[in-house]
């Protein structure tokens, strides 16, 4: 028996169309994955109301208590805020599989039809789920892609912690998947599978999409971003002195 994949709620974002004074609006795509006794929700996200997700599950003949696993593609709050909706579910994220207060590692070959791979770049904690279904392999990859081929240049991902690693993660997804469920849109067919081995330039390119620091509101370029909190500039970085990713708040400028 292969896995079953169904989009429960199609996500959206307006980051590429923001004008001066506009507020960023975002919602991740929420996906249901089922295999044998496994009932998994991927990225329960941030919603106007949790009832939207409750109703989407009801249409599939399920309740929140039927969900026994929640999969988080990366640790940006718009993808995991509603993780507490599911009282009987374990949580699978980059750091392991959590069952109440205990945690254990996950295996890449999670089940016969589900594979989990580390896909950093948008965020270091990025993981993608590859599900073998009757119609092919579906990659649920969070913000490795926000929507189909977007951003076209990984350097234009204003929230990316490492565009070069994001390029490698995109190559991996394009090589393995027949269909892709991106972070903020509906599923699409991967028409690049045969050419995924082609080289992609990784020379530094300034982002075309401007991002402002969430704290001081300064416009940021890639080099201005805190590496582990890319929504903040290095001036406003809140990293502790023992941060293993960066210490940009302590930079002299």
DSSP state letters, 133-194? ETTEEEEE-GGGSSBTTBSSSGGG-TT-S-HHHHHHHHHHHHHH-SEEE-TTS--EE-TTGG
Question: What is the three-class DSSP state of 35?
Answer: strand
Could you tell me if 178 and 190 are in contact, meaning their C-beta atoms sit under 8 angstroms apart? Answer: yes
Do strands 102-104 and 96-99 pair parallel, antiparallel, or not at all (unpaired)? Answer: antiparallel
Are 128 and 71 in a shared domain?
yes
CA–CA gap between residue 50 and residue 130 (Å, rounded): 26
pLDDT tens readout for residues 122-178: 999 999 999 999 999 999 999 999 999 899 999 888 889 899 999 999 999 999 999
Total domains present in the chain: 2
- On whether residue 228 sits in a domain, the answer given is yes
- On whether residue 70 sits in a domain, the answer given is yes
- On whether residue 202 sits in a domain, the answer given is no
- pTM for the model: 0.80
| The domain boundary residue, chosen from 164, 192, 220 | 192
Q: What pLDDT was estimated at residue 209?
A: 52
């Amino acid at each position: 028996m292969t896995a079953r994949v169904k989009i429960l709620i199609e996500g959206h974002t307006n980051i590429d169309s923001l004008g001066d004074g506009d507020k960023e609006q975002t919602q991740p795509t929420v996906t249901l994955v089922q295999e044998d006794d496994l009932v998994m929700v991927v990225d329960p996200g941030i919603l106007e109301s949790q009832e939207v997700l409750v109703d989407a599950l009801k249409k599939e003949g399920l309740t929140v208590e039927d969900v026994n696993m929640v999969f988080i593609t990366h640790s940006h709050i718009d993808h995991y805020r509603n993780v507490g909706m599911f009282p009987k579910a374990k949580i699978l994220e980059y750091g392991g599989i959590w069952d109440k207060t205990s945690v254990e590692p996950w295996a890449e070959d999670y089940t016969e039809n589900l594979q989990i791979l580390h896909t950093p770049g948008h965020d270091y904690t990025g993981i993608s789920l590859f599900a073998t279904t009757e119609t092919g392999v579906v990659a649920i990859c969070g913000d490795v892609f926000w929507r189909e081929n977007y951003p076209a240049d990984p350097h234009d991902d204003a929230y990316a912690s490492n565009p070069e690693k994001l390029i490698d993660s995109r190559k991996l997804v394009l090589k393995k998947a027949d269909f892709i469920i991106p972070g903020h849109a509906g599923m699409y067919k991967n028409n690049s599978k045969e050419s995924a081995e082609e080289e992609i330039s990784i020379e530094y390119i300034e982002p075309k999409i401007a991002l402002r620091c969430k704290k001081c509101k300064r416009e940021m370029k890639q080099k201005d971003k805190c590496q582990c909190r890319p929504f903040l500039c290095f001036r406003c970085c809140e990293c502790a002195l023992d941060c293993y990713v960066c210490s940009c708040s302590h930079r002299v400028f």
